[in-house]
Structure 1
Amino acid sequence: MTKTPIQLRSAAACKTVLKNLERRGFEAFYCEDKKAALAKVLELIPAGDVVSWGGSVTLQEIGLMDEMRSWRYKVIDRDTAATPEQRTDLLRQALLCDTFLMSSNAVSEDGQLVNIDGTGNRVAAMVYGPKSVIVVAGVNKIVKTQADALARVRMLAAPVNIQRFPQLQTPCMETGVCADCNAPDCICNYILTTRRCKPAGKIKVVLVGESLGY
């Protein structure tokens, strides 16, 4: 099947990023579409692992959440909590799971990952705890530099993501534009740049040649 110009461009752009991710100690993979990305992630999860994840539209879009909640996997799922206290306890348990799944808010061409969290559970898991972290990111998350990655997160990803939580009140909820706020409901509380993976190979990045998530 003949590839479209968008598919050709995505593959070419990701090729450079893959090399730079590997140079920084990440394991890196390219998948042309959502179906291939789902298959790759499942391949990377060892049999018998306890699996958990951070909130992610990307993971939902590739069908990974439905797969994880099937009978085949041992999971720590915060959405099964009956109370806020149980939810917090599950979030803490997830930090010691075997494999943690997440996306990245941005990926720079030189191989750095930039993420911003409201509660910090995603970035905490990326830094330390799980034996393995698998990051799935669409080609739309790729930007030129680490500074561009931070700008993307603050100016695009956060104002879009806040719309998923209508109970929260922030300036960007109303204006759609980052105000660098200090609001109690701010979701930009923890900022992490992962410039190198240590130990090498712990973080596995799956780049997808489609637009996924925010």
Structure 2
Amino acid sequence: MQDIVRKTIDNLNRNHMAGYYTQSIQQLHELLYRLMPEGQTVGCGDSVTLEQSGVYEYVRNHSYNFLDKYRTGLNREEKREIYLQNFRADTFLTGINAVTIDGKLFNIDGNGSRVAPIIYGPKQVIAVVGTNKIVKSVDDAIWRTRQIAAPLDARRLAKETPCVKLAKCIDCHHSQRICNDFVLITGQFEKGRIKVIFIEGDYGY
């Protein structure tokens, strides 16, 4: 394990969030099997990391009650109902935009459906994070998310925001802006409710 990852995990634990390290997708899935007993109700946030690491597929192929927001044919109200059900899930799966070495989690969200259940509701939150997302400070976390992650995500979502064309954030006021909720989590009342699993390599944006 790299020293920077070990230090970050130590600081997450100090902030009452559990940290784990995996070197491969196989190790990641084996850890998920230990942390998420089959039969659980599992929700998820929108995450390129979860897609790239096969987590969505893993959940679909096991005996979970998956609140699958990606099912075809869902209308807007049906998706909203899934977002509300996420608050009562046993486990909520998500990515994180950036993790600071001193053990803080930073996310930017468009409508809050991802960051809200991270903050409150589900019995446990499991965040899967590539080691590429570890940064030195909160300022670095904000810069990384706004200038790297957000423009790439806006492009993936086929938005027409300026960042898609410019490949950088200009703090626009576009109606399709996805940088609406800036959330910094510095700790937890319930020790270990949030679990951060680092996977070695570049995952997500």
TM bucket (normalised to shorter chain) is over 0.9
Q: One-letter code of the match for 1:22?
A: N
Find the counterpart in structure 2 of residue 13 from structure 1: 4
Find the counterpart in structure 2 of residue 186 from structure 1: 177
Selected match of 2:128 from 127, 136, 149 = 136
Q: Write the distance in 1 (CA, Å) between the matches of 2:26 and 2:111.
A: 30
Q: Which runs of 4+ in 1 moved over 4 A?
A: none
Q: Say yes or no: does 1:41 pair with 2:32.
A: yes
Find the counterpart in structure 2 of residue 94 from structure 1: 86
Aligned Cα RMSD in Å? 1.2
Selected match of 1:75 from 49, 63, 66 = 66
Q: Write the distance in 1 (CA, Å) between the matches of 2:81 and 2:189.
A: 27
SS of aligned partner of 2:70: helix
* 1:41-190 mapped onto 2 (5 Å cutoff): 41-80=32-71, 81-166=73-158, 168-190=159-181
| Structure 1 residue ranges without an equivalent (≥5) | 1-9
Q: One-letter code of the match for 1:112?
A: K
Q: Write the distance in 1 (CA, Å) between the matches of 2:17 and 2:141.
A: 18
CA contact (8 A) 1:34 1:208 kept: yes
Q: Write the distance in 1 (CA, Å) between the matches of 2:37 and 2:172.
A: 41
Find the counterpart in structure 2 of residue 205 from structure 1: 196
Aligned pair count reads: 204
| Structure 2 residue ranges without an equivalent (≥5) | none
CA contact (8 A) 2:15 2:186 kept: yes
Name the TM-score, length of structure 1 as normaliser. Answer: 0.91
State the 1:207 CA deviation: 1.0
Q: Write the distance in 2 (CA, Å) between the matches of 1:47 and 1:177.
A: 42
Q: Write the distance in 1 (CA, Å) between the matches of 2:133 and 2:24.
A: 15
Q: One-letter code of the match for 1:172?
A: C
* Greater CA drift, 78-87 or 96-105: 78-87
Classify 1:32/1:71 alpha carbon distance in 2 versus 1 (closer, same or farther; 3 Å). Answer: closer
Find the counterpart in structure 2 of residue 32 from structure 1: 23
Q: Write the distance in 2 (CA, Å) between the matches of 1:145 and 1:42.
A: 32
SS of aligned partner of 2:125: strand
CA contact (8 A) 1:76 1:90 kept: yes
State the 1:191 CA deviation: 0.8
Instruction: Provide the identity percentage.
Output: 36
CA contact (8 A) 1:11 1:209 kept: no
CA contact (8 A) 2:38 2:62 kept: no
Find the counterpart in structure 2 of residue 7 from structure 1: none
Q: One-letter code of the match for 1:70?
A: N
Q: One-letter code of the match for 1:200?
A: K
Name the TM-score, length of structure 2 as normaliser. Answer: 0.95
